Amino acid sequence: MRALVVEDDPVIADGVAQALAKAGIVVEHASDGEEAEHLGATEPYDVAVLDLGLPGRDGIAVLETWRKQGATFPVLILTARDRWADKLAGFRAGADDYVIKPFRLEEVVLRVQALVRRAAGHAHAVITAGPLAYDTQLGTVTLEGMPLKLTAMEHRVLAYLIHRAGRVVSRTELAEHVYDGDTDRDFNALEVIIGRLRRKIGADAIETERGRGYRLKR
């Protein structure tokens, strides 16, 4: 884990940094808005701790810049100001949590960990097989980055093959996983699906192991 701490007061900055480090987080530090903007927009952090009371550039403006540049890491805001308007502005700018000074270091660590934990919950789970990539979250399959247009049945078959890429999958096994329950299994239906898939993803992507089943090239 990698965190950016934006804080001009060296005492607070040091305290937060050490507390986070003790929790196993790699900490980098920016002491003014410009440096913060640059680092946050270019480096891949997992979380940022941002003080609003910066000299010069406003913390909210820094956050807005980050978000405009496409940074998605969660941001915990530190502030001495307890005013409603600040909270609102912070949330609107894309902050994820708030801690009011003075605070306990443990609280900051806990909240940072909570943010990281939740943000990690949607790391994209992508399974690849050769030029194919199956995004389990989006429910889409791409071929060399290009999204494939698949029917429901084709999708089910290909998804299963990708999960078992490199292994021989018998027709029986395929049918069991692709059809629910007690459908009459005529393998010819599957053969047709395989054929249509081959036309979409390349004829040699799915190999036939005669008498044993199919194998998707890895």
Residues that bind DNA (CB under 7 A): 151-154, 171, 179, 183-184, 186-189, 191-195, 198, 203, 208, 210-213
Interface segment toward a copy of itself; rule CB under 8 A; list 4-12, 34-42, 184-192, 206-214: 206-214
> Which of 113, 130, 143, 196 touches a copy of itself (CB under 8 A)?
113
Residues forming beta bridges with residue 191, ordered by sequence position: none
Q: Should residue 22 be labelled a site residue for a copy of itself when binding is judged by CB under 8 A?
A: no
Confirm or reject binding of residue 176 to a copy of itself (CB under 8 A).
no
Query: In 3-state terms, what secondary structure has residue 81?
Result: coil
Of 28-36, 52-60, 95-103, 178-186: span binding a copy of itself (CB under 8 A): 95-103
Beta strands in 66-217, from DSSP E residues, in sequence order: 75-79, 97-100, 126-129, 132-135, 140-143, 146-147, 168-169, 206-209, 213-216
- Please identify, among the stretches 11-19, 32-40, 148-156, 179-187, the one whose residues bind a copy of itself according to the rule CB under 8 A: 148-156
Residue 142 sits in the site that holds a copy of itself (CB under 8 A): no
- Residue 171, contacted partner among DNA, a copy of itself, none, CB below 5-8 A by kind: DNA
Conformational region of residue 7, where left means phi above 0, alpha means psi within -120 to 50, and beta covers everything else: beta
CA distances 86 to 30, 81, 99, Å, are 22, 7, 12
In the complex with DNA, the residue whose CB is nearer, 69 or 208, is: 208
Query: Is 210 a residue that touches a copy of itself (CB under 8 A)?
Result: yes
Give the interface segment with a copy of itself, choosing from 17-25, 36-44, 122-130, 177-185 (CB under 8 A): 122-130
123 binds a copy of itself (CB under 8 A): yes
- Pair of tokens at residue 104: 């306990």
Chain-centroid distance of CA 60 in Å reads: 25
- Pairing of the two strands 168-169 and 213-216: antiparallel
Task: Output 101 or 196, the one with its CB closest to DNA.
Answer: 196
Q: Which residue type sits at 163?
A: H
Neighbouring-strand partners of residue 58: none
Q: For a copy of itself, how many residues bind (rule: CB under 8 A)?
A: 48
- Report the alpha-carbon distance of residue 160 to residue 39 in Å, rounded: 42
Token pair 């060399």 is found at 144
Interaction site with a copy of itself (CB under 8 A): 67, 71-75, 84, 87-88, 91-97, 104, 106-107, 110-111, 113-115, 118-125, 137-140, 151-153, 155, 166-168, 209-212, 215
